[in-house]
Amino acid sequence: MSASPDPRFLIVETGQPVPSMRRHGGFPHWIRSAAGLGRGEVDAVDVEGGEPLPPRDGLAGVIVTGSGAMVTERRDWSEASAAWLRDAAHAGVPVFGICYGHQLLAHALGGEVGDNPNGRTMGTVPVELLPAAAGDPLFAGLPGRFPAQATHLQSVLRAPPGATVLARAAHDDCHAFRWGESAWGVQFHPEFGTVHMRGYVHARADALARDGLDPERIAAEVAAAPQARRVLRRFVRHARVSPARR
């Protein structure tokens, strides 16, 4: 009898990179590469484009991408994805939300998402770990303060009931959280390298200038963020040994 295949990771694609960065591929490619996953270990579902989410049984873990959409728009595909994520998290399926995915997961689990009162965040930002991170499978042992790539207008304003807030940043009191034993959201982009981040800054230069920010300075201050990427890779390792694997 042949051995059954290893469970695969599902990337829930909630949006596309800015047009100028699509020559580097889409978010599933960026995430798969940053996570150290092989092509044969990953399926991607374009929920923004109308593709249906599969049954959760048999998944090693779920990673939710960023998006140019806003969670507060309550688009049909977004609300349907939130319901699916809520059920997956309650079932103990390992889930990792990135930026929009972080916000969508928080919304799905009863948190509050909205416009960040501090305005736009873009560039390499310092993330500060909170005391609870010391015992977290993804954040334990990391420096108390490390750089990460970020670009967002909305934030998690209130973490879901029962969630543990793990990190904050200058503009975000909830920059990372864990819900239960196997669901995480991070506002930063662990899949972004410096090329991706600078590309986003250049693409949003006019918007940054309108907001009173200096795109040239932000681009010049973009720096590598290896610890942020390490969080994503730790999620993959955690999911592979999770008892929730079906």
Q: Is 191 a catalytic residue?
A: yes
Distance CA 126, CA 243 (A): 33
Task: Look at the alpha carbons of 164, 168, 174, 175 in this order and tell me if their dihedral is positive or negative.
Answer: negative
Contacts of 147 (CB under 8 A, 6+ apart): 124, 125, 126, 127, 223, 224, 225, 227, 228
One of 107, 152, 175, 189 is an active-site residue; which one?
A: 189
- The amino acid sitting at 227 is Q
On whether the CB atoms of residues 160 and 106 are closer than 8 A, the answer is: yes
Pick the catalytic residue from 48, 152, 191, 238: 191
**Active site residue: 99, 107, 152, 174, which one?**
99
The pairing of strands 112-115 and 172-179 is unpaired
Residue corresponding to tokens 């990427």? 229
**Closest C-alpha among 192, 185, 224 to residue 71:** 185
Q: Catalytic annotation on 99?
A: yes
Which residues are marked as active site?
99, 189, 191
